[in-house]
A and B are shown apart, each in its own frame.
Chain A
Amino acid sequence: MGFITTPLGAHYFQWGWFSVSIGNIATISAVVALLVLAIVVPFPKEHDVTPIQREQDQA
């Protein structure tokens, strides 16, 4: 397991048969992070809402 640099200067992470460029794994990580944030970060409440949401807020 470790990092290698190709003759053209690209950086790769290698672990056995697994090999991924740092740029690609960084992009994939960013997408996963965005997905998690989109699910867990609350949406601002000041938008118009349906009666169901109003009842929920009043309850």
Chain B
Amino acid sequence: MSDQVEEVKITWTGRIRNRAEKNLPYDRLMPDTQPAYVVSWIYVAGVLTIAALAGIIGSGVILTFKGPTWWHTSASGHFVNSLHFWSVQLFFIFMVVHLWGNFWMAAWRGGRWKTWISGLVAFAVSIGAGLSGYAIQTNVDSQWIAFQAKDGINATGVGAMFDIANFGQMMMFHIFLFPGIISLVVLAHVVWVRIKGVVPPIDAAKVEAAIAEHAASTQAGA
């Protein structure tokens, strides 16, 4: 590729394709091996968060079709409602473990700031999604939460756009806007991880140099 002149495209689709081919070839988009330092449970927290998100969306779709009467009164409705709730708990638990793990390994190094910021946005929007979900349970609990939260939301100055006492708005935010934003941000987050690769540990260069030196001395001795 290096001895070829890159063709300049005049269409936006062509420019996007050129850029994707350069930054995200198939072996980087769908890698089947990872560096040695990825052999750690801390690197699993991110994919567990995505698995929990899939559980949230899957159970949420069923709740959307069946409706509040079903999830309040039937045994199967209670079950799917609980699946939705506990998927959210796992989502936040794994996301926080993923956040802390990456914070302590300074995962924004090596030009990965877009990955870090997109994770921050996903976390912030998830809090809004969680709060709007609590507000649309259609029970006394949701009334209590909405009317307790409205003063806090108003104090932040966004109450005119985020009116937690407005059931219709919270419903649309919860089942369309926030899941849509989170899904797109998570997709971008994963693509940026693929483009830059998994962040190495802070001392990775030192460890790899020591391993290479050890391998060289072993070969010299043999």
Contact = CB atoms under 8 A, between A and B. Distances in A.
A39 B34 contact: no
Interface stretch (B38-46, B77-85, B164-172, B184-192): B38-46
A35 B40 CA distance: 12
Given A52-B211, A55-B211, A39 B41 contact: yes
Nearest to A51: B36
B36 A52 contact: yes
Interface residues of A, number: 20
B13 interface: no
**A interface, over-half SS:** helix
Contact of B93 (A31, A49, A52): A31
B218 interface: yes
Given A31-B96, A38-B101, A56-B36, A43 B215 contact: no
B32 A49 contact: no
B32 A39 contact: no
Interface of A: 27, 30-31, 34-35, 37-39, 41, 43, 45, 47-50, 52-53, 55-56, 59
